[in-house]
Amino acid sequence: MQRRLIAAIAAVILAGIGAILLFNYVATADARAMEGQTPTKVLVVTQPIESGTLGSRLAGFVETRELPLTAIVPGALTSLDQVAGLATTTSLTPGEQLITSRFAEPGTSADGEVSVPNNMQLVTVSLEAQRTVGGQLTPGSKVAIYATQEEKTQQILQSVLVVKAGDEESGGAITLALAPADAQKVILATEVSKIWLVKEAKNPSGTTPLDIKQLIR
């Protein structure tokens, strides 16, 4: 009789423990589910947007919406300030979220290619990371070029378009789009001096010498 009583008590205790564990599991699952449904504000396209549209001109084409966290695409934007100075690389349709991967420097396509004017020549230079802004240059970037010979340094070109930046295969190779006369300057500078690429300032200024004597005075 005593054994039966002990067994019954043990069964009740185990059942109680099981109920508590089940309750905790369900509560935790509900919390996880609710966490995934937490509303988060993102920008969503409301009108068709053409490729090449500047981010600063998108105010009338997007709106802020609250979406569940689980529905938000990686890289979704919350403010147009995040793409200030950039442009869309592809056309966008109403309903899609605005994401960072759809933006790049103006003139850059979705595949990373930069449109090069017909009168420009492409010149590739191979430079160490410290002479290319630490690898921060991307297709579409604008750079100023400085040349150093012995103890003298001088800016030789400005507003030069970067067509291709170094990757794992090309290393520090940077391809630039240059007018024929400017291509000569860069080639000459790389042969007789060291050059540095500097990310373009908002109000660039500098000199454009024609030969090495004018380049390094």
0.85 exceeded by pTM: no
- The number of residues making up the chain comes to 217
Q: What are the start-end ranges of the H helices in the chain?
A: 2-36, 180-192, 212-215
The confidence score (pLDDT) of residue 4 equals: 63
The confidence score (pLDDT) of residue 119 equals: 86
The confidence score (pLDDT) of residue 169 equals: 45
The confidence score (pLDDT) of residue 154 equals: 86
Distance CA 196, CA 190 (A): 10
The confidence score (pLDDT) of residue 163 equals: 86
Q: Strand pairing partners for 164?
A: 175
**Cβ 173 vs Cβ 162: under 8 Å:** no
Read off the pLDDT of residues 124-140 as tens digits, 9 standing for 90 and up. Answer: 999 888 888 877 787 88
Read off the pLDDT of residues 2-41 as tens digits, 9 standing for 90 and up. Answer: 666 665 666 657 666 766 766 666 556 554 554 546 788 9
The confidence score (pLDDT) of residue 214 equals: 55
The confidence score (pLDDT) of residue 176 equals: 94
**Cβ 200 vs Cβ 206: under 8 Å:** no
**Cβ 138 vs Cβ 86: under 8 Å:** no
Which amino acid, one-letter code, is at 28?
T
Would you call 49 exposed, middle or buried from its count of C-beta atoms within 10 A (0-12, 13-18, 19+)? buried
Segments in the chain below pLDDT 70: 1-12, 14-16, 18-19, 21-37, 107-113, 166-171, 201-217
Q: Residue 171 gets which letter from DSSP? A: T
The confidence score (pLDDT) of residue 96 equals: 92
